[in-house]
Structure 1
């Protein structure tokens, strides 16, 4: 459901006034309607413009979703991002309890702490909408078989890799093996550079490999020693630096070619 649809569904009539000094961590439903609106607006869950406020009947559902997510470790500052990327979480038709299996998976199977789970979710909110049985669990098993570790750490790479179907992961392994990596070598590459799972074979990995072999005239063995090559931009770093040194008839290792900062690289080999 689009964010605009959720917002459009989100008109309010004042309810009873809140009791004095009542400011619980999780907002109670006997709080005044206007205060609830201000609260949700401050989180970014609903717009500040009252014309786009939710109907009265929808407000308890939205508050339940907020309270549920906060009980799982989501912080106030995270909600605007969740609303932007997963507006359906705050739809009046969404059953927030369907997220329980995902949180159970993160804790029991991935071994993530509350803080780590929050970090993974904030980095990739769509992980909340993934099916544990058909996506998250098979992916975790496959990644562990390849030797990837510390997948519970709250990094952007881990979050997106965990939310990737196994077949897409296998496609990257097939590519590496097709260019000459043994299975164990390909697995080690993926373990060292899990971000490779997020790269397109045809528009990213293959063009880089072909440039390495045909234009740079490098051997596969050099790539095996420095697979981080795949993590650099072909147009912004690999090509410009290669052609710059080519004009000077200078050849250096891949790591030296790519790891140095622009300042260090171009001060060493001035244009």
Structure 2
């Protein structure tokens, strides 16, 4: 792989007008680096000759045209490219630790351009010192490449916060970071600590078991979800209770997950919202593959199961319960298999 990469880089740096050592995309015909990366590639010093013409023997000189002002590129734009040798060395190192450099270049070019090789090595050394395996830090960087632009001085306080304030044990630290690599690029002051206080304030016990929520914004993600449940009819206490019982709900999309399932629950299933308070795990099941098929099956059979029985049982158990209810005597009213239709069917069959 390394020989292939060297051949790839050398072939693409032979053109002196193209200092950036990787192929240009087909939709950028220009060979210059600035044509590839910068929306502002025109020269800064444009000179126009002084022009004049005569009218009735009177010479009227024209003033020289001013060089057009070109706005300076702000700091958030891609910085000037590194030298060929520096970039090649960086690419070879990333390749040597098993990263997909072509994917990084295509999807995260600004990060790759701005991250320095010494800094990248220091991050890898830090992860290695925390007993992360090469496979683990490859996965971490692929999920959160912004880590390459971090420094040990920014990551160390985050690890300290997780160990001391979030009460993550040293043996669980790897698992916590592997599950949510974005923790390593989240601000302790502006993100991690406010989220920790918020989760503790709603009564969530052992936040260390839900550290994946610490990288979520309180203002834009955590609080709005509780407020959404208040808007649909839950009291504040009940809404908080739902998230306390099922914290994973904080990570579910309101538009793509919660709303469609809530609409089906209320309109098609005709159930009471209090069932969601008792079983908020409802939102974790697939609407198309679990909720709809099982509900429709019960409707066809004239059965009614509690929400947790309807969804939580395995497929074989669910089918067995359906058969037991339909092909045996009427269950007791206290049984979870009981349906009001059972009495109707029973009375009809005896006539």
- Structure 2 gap segments, 5+ residues each: 1-76, 102-111, 327-351
Give the C-alpha shift of residue 98 in structure 1: 1.6
Q: Are 1:211 and 2:242 an aligned pair?
A: no
SS at match of 2:140: helix
Whichever structure has more helix as a proportion of its residues is 1
Give the C-alpha shift of residue 203 in structure 1: 2.2
Q: Are 1:268 and 2:324 an aligned pair?
A: no
Q: 217-226 or 241-250: which moved more? A: 217-226
Deviations along 1:116-152, one digit per CA (max 9) or x if unpaired, are 2221111111111111111111111000011112222
Give the one of 147, 151, 157 matched to 1:101.
157
Closer, same or farther: CA 231–46 of 1 in aligned 2, 3 Å: closer
SS at match of 1:191: helix
Structure with max Cα Rg: 2
Q: Which residue number corresponds to residue 57 of structure 2?
A: none
Q: Distance in 2 between matches of 1:59 and 1:200?
A: 38
SS at match of 1:269: helix
Residues 122 and 151 of structure 2 are in contact (CA less than 8 Å); yes or no, is this contact kept in structure 1?
no
TM-score by length of 1: 0.74
Give the C-alpha shift of residue 77 in structure 1: 3.0
Give the one of 129, 143, 158 matched to 2:199.
143
Q: Which residue number corresponds to residue 198 of structure 1?
A: 251
Q: Distance in 1 between matches of 2:98 and 2:87?
A: 13
Of structures 1 and 2, the one with the larger relative CO (CA 8 A, separation 6+) is: 1
Matched length: 232
Closer, same or farther: CA 73–152 of 1 in aligned 2, 3 Å: farther
SS at match of 2:208: coil
Q: Are 1:186 and 2:239 an aligned pair?
A: yes
SS at match of 1:252: coil
SS at match of 2:305: coil
Q: Which residue number corresponds to residue 160 of structure 1?
A: 212
Q: Are 1:75 and 2:133 an aligned pair?
A: yes
Give the C-alpha shift of residue 182 in structure 1: 2.3
Q: Which residue number corresponds to residue 275 of structure 2?
A: 222
SS at match of 1:152: helix
- Structure 1 gap segments, 5+ residues each: 13-33, 48-53
Give the C-alpha shift of residue 169 in structure 1: 0.7
